[in-house]
Amino acid sequence: MQIGVIPVMLLWVCTLSATAQEVDTMKIIGLEEVSVSDSYKRTNHLRSAQPVEIVDETFLSEHFTGNLMHTLQHIPGIHSMNIGSGFSKPVIRGMGFNRISVTENGIKQEGQQWGADHGLEIDAFGVERVMIRKGPASLLYGSDAMGGVIEITHPFPPAENQLFGEAALLGKSVNGTLGGSLMVGLKRNNWYARFRFSEQHFGDYHVPTDTIVYLTQRLPIEKRRLKNTAGFERDASLFSAYRKGHYYANLAVSNAYQKVGFFMGAHGMPDGNRLKDDGDARNIELPYSTVNHLKMTSRQQYMWEESIGFWDIGYQNNHRKELSRFHTHYGTQPPPLTDPDKELEFSLHTFSSSVKWKTFGSEEWEHTVGWDLQYQQNRIAGYSFLVPEYNRLTSGALWLSTWKPGPEFSVSGGLRYDYGRLDAAAFRDPYLEEYLQRLGYSEEEIAGYRWRSYAVDRSFSDFSGSLGVVWNPNEAHLVKVNIGRSFRLPGANELAANGVHHGTFRHEQGDASLDSERGWQVDASYTYERGGIYLSLTPFGSWFGNYIYLQPTGEWSVLPHAGQIYRYSGAQAVFAGAELEFGIDFLRRWNYQVSGEYVYSRNLDEHIPLPFSPPASVRNVLTWERERVHLYAELHSITAQNRESRNEEPTPGTHLWNMGATATVPVAGTEVEITLSAQNLLNTKYFNHLSFYRKVEIPEPGRNFQLFIKVPFNTKIK
């Protein structure tokens, strides 16, 4: 792992903190914590014409699972695309992969998010506040945000000088998770710093079934455990900030490392002999993956009387390996002399820069201009092949203005121009060429396959924009309408991939002639909140003229164990749907909340649904709260998904019961927070339509009891 730099950075920050004696010239106002949270939420709701969800620390603690996306999927419109052993990625209103941006400290998280079997590398223990923008966000965040943004923001520093921190413990029964996190922070005058170290270890997952059926073959699941789904995660992070007068700067350094086994039936063809119980539910065998994500970001900010400017810069290295016992597809391919079991390796270096300047010279007008720049370099290794080496450069300039003639009404609109260039390397496979020659293929057929990847050097550019209205006639009502044009640059996999993707059991092939995705999107929202009653309705719709997806071609691949060729293609597509939330307080301590969501998607060229469309669902939650105790019971109803794309299986509906209780206990001068919860209380067998394991008929985890404990501490200092 590459975390040796973090202790050095922590020592540097602590040394500077000890020597800094200046007094912060900014005014410090003491407010109730709830008041600050409410003001923050309301301010952001009024600023954006898009639906915005503000997720605070209370919500994150109550629904904490050790996985960020599993926590956020309790919000209508947000789904978790599960990838088996602890991996998951975000889906917003049916859009995922490179259409959703996850940002932290102003910089977009960059990894291998193009793949269905790659997740996010973010320490869930360290996330204390999240802002979610549903719908097109390309204007502010670039082309990869056409489906929405999950923005992780750092908490506000304490007002007084103090040494503070927290210890957290996590235990889960479904896979024997044992996890913990320790955070230590310091606020002294102008300086603020916090360091966190987290670790989780888990064993093989329990599932409510004894067998699975894959391609008509029934395979045993001994002891109802998915063999080789154990793993561990180790994270370290540092955040430091300095503020004096009108100047502010921060530095964030983090490293996330994961090592997780692949269930034998989800990485290549299942084998009953390899699924036999070995008596150890926590060992990690081949095949398995490792991923290390190093990230360093910084913000420089200065405020004048009528404007503010800031510069965000970042560097990331996402290093992923997939290891599997060497197996050749050709018979002519010898094992590598070094690392013979290294099947795939990706090393992605990303350099990011974002400069923005905002002016607010009058009460009615606010203007923002900005320029974003990103450069990526991806290098590969291993005896298998899917995505070639590539370099990618993207740049975009934006302008956004808001007119607010009064406190009850505002109009905002803007434009953005993006340019991108992808340079992917060619790859000739001599082993495949020799293999085809031995099988007697013609020279013409061999010529079409020997180049597993042709050189791609293409440039893309386009405009995106939005226009929105916010009407807030009084504190009870809030109406928003937003229309936007967005586009997305094709990814390297969509242009240049060519090979067997073991995680999806098919030959995936890019198309170097693909154009950018372009679409029009509209969304609206109405919110009512008064007297213990809350109501929110957010309908949306989208049309795309060139939506990129994997299309089965009907061509049989000559690559062994590959089956049919799936080629990235563009088509006209539509998305539509809505989210609904209703809540009411009654009998002083009780609250009932119901929330639902629905997404409709369709490929207009082929007249079929788009893949990975989430089914409709409804959550009914009844809570009781008194002083330091909070109890809830939840019924999560998921409808059947019979609108499946080609080569997707229909997924039956289900009803899941969840319960939980949180108690705050005063101990030794601090407030210990204890949360005990139960998911899938009835041990129901069900499938997640978005799951990586759905294709091999593996149900979601069974009954899970979870204990989460947080112990905060703080000591005032001079």
DSSP string, 180-214: EEEEEEEEETTEEEEEEEEEEEE-PEE-S-SEEEE
Is residue 473 included in any domain, yes or no?
Answer: yes
Q: Which amino acid is at 433?
A: E
Cβ 105 vs Cβ 299: under 8 Å: yes
Res. 382 pLDDT band, cuts 50 70 90: confident
Structure tokens at 119: 């997740």
Percent of the chain with pLDDT over 90: 56
Would the pLDDT of 61 be above 80?
yes
- For residue 20, the 8-state DSSP code is -
Mean pLDDT of the chain: 86
Least confident of 147-151, 297-301, 503-507, 527-531: 503-507
The reported pLDDT for the residue numbered 34 is 40
Q: For residue 5, which of 320, 321, 317, 296 has the smallest C-alpha distance?
A: 296
Match 């009953």 to its residue by tokens. Answer: 272
Q: For residue 91, which of 102, 78, 104, 72 has the smallest C-alpha distance?
A: 78
Is residue 53 included in any domain, yes or no?
Answer: no
Percent of the chain with pLDDT over 70: 89
Phi/psi at 695 (nearest 5 deg)?
Answer: -65, -30
Cis peptide before 287 (omega within 30 of 0): yes
Rounded to whole angstroms, the Cα distance separating 694 from 265 reads 11
Measured in Å, how far apart are the chain's first and last C-alpha atoms?
37
Is residue 89 included in any domain, yes or no?
Answer: no
Would the pLDDT of 386 be above 80?
no
Burial class (CB in 10 A: 0-12, 13-18, 19+), 586: exposed
Rounded to whole angstroms, the Cα distance separating 344 from 300 reads 38
Is residue 281 included in any domain, yes or no?
Answer: yes
Would the pLDDT of 455 be above 50?
yes
Is residue 638 included in any domain, yes or no?
Answer: yes
The reported pLDDT for the residue numbered 652 is 95
Q: How many CA atoms lie within 13 A of 361 on its CB side?
A: 5
Is residue 42 included in any domain, yes or no?
Answer: no
Would the pLDDT of 420 be above 90?
yes
Q: For residue 597, which of 79, 51, 59, 56 has the smallest C-alpha distance?
A: 79
Q: For residue 1, which of 321, 256, 314 has the smallest C-alpha distance?
A: 256
629-633 mean pLDDT: 96
477-489 mean pLDDT: 92
195-206 mean pLDDT: 95
The reported pLDDT for the residue numbered 7 is 39
Strands 451-453 and 390-406: unpaired
Res. 85 pLDDT band, cuts 50 70 90: low
Is residue 433 included in any domain, yes or no?
Answer: yes
Angstrom distances, CA of residue 273 to CA of 38, 234, 306, 431, 605: 57, 32, 70, 30, 44
Res. 633 pLDDT band, cuts 50 70 90: very high
What is the domain range of residue 351? 5-24+167-716
Which comes out higher in pLDDT, residue 94 or 300? 300
Res. 660 pLDDT band, cuts 50 70 90: very high
Would the pLDDT of 11 be above 50?
no
Q: For residue 156, which of 245, 57, 255 has the smallest C-alpha distance?
A: 57
The reported pLDDT for the residue numbered 268 is 59
**Which residues, other chains included, contact 346 with Cβ-Cβ below 8 Å and sequence gap of 6+?**
112, 318, 319, 320, 378, 379, 380, 387
Res. 42 pLDDT band, cuts 50 70 90: low
Res. 29 pLDDT band, cuts 50 70 90: very low
421-442 mean pLDDT: 87
Buried b (16+ CB within 10 A) or exposed e, 90-126: bbbbbbbbbbbbbbbbbbbbbbbbebbbbbbbbbbbb
In this structure, what is the dihedral angle of CA atoms 13, 17, 23, 25, given to the nearest 10 degrees? 10
The reported pLDDT for the residue numbered 500 is 74
The reported pLDDT for the residue numbered 673 is 96
Res. 336 pLDDT band, cuts 50 70 90: confident
Which comes out higher in pLDDT, residue 447 or 525? 525
66-86 mean pLDDT: 83
Q: Into how many domains does the chain fold?
A: 1
Res. 503 pLDDT band, cuts 50 70 90: low
Q: What is the pLDDT of residues 524-575, one digit of tens each?
A: 999 999 999 999 999 999 999 999 988 888 777 777 666 678 889 999 999 9
Residue 176 sits in a domain whose CATH number is: 2.40.170.20
Cβ 620 vs Cβ 634: under 8 Å: yes
Is residue 277 included in any domain, yes or no?
Answer: yes
The reported pLDDT for the residue numbered 526 is 96
Chain centroid to Cα 191, Å, comes to: 31
Q: What is the pLDDT of residues 260-306, one digit of tens each?
A: 998 876 665 666 677 788 888 999 998 899 999 999 999 999 999 99
Structure tokens at 524: 């609206």
Would the pLDDT of 10 be above 60?
no
The reported pLDDT for the residue numbered 702 is 92
Res. 337 pLDDT band, cuts 50 70 90: confident
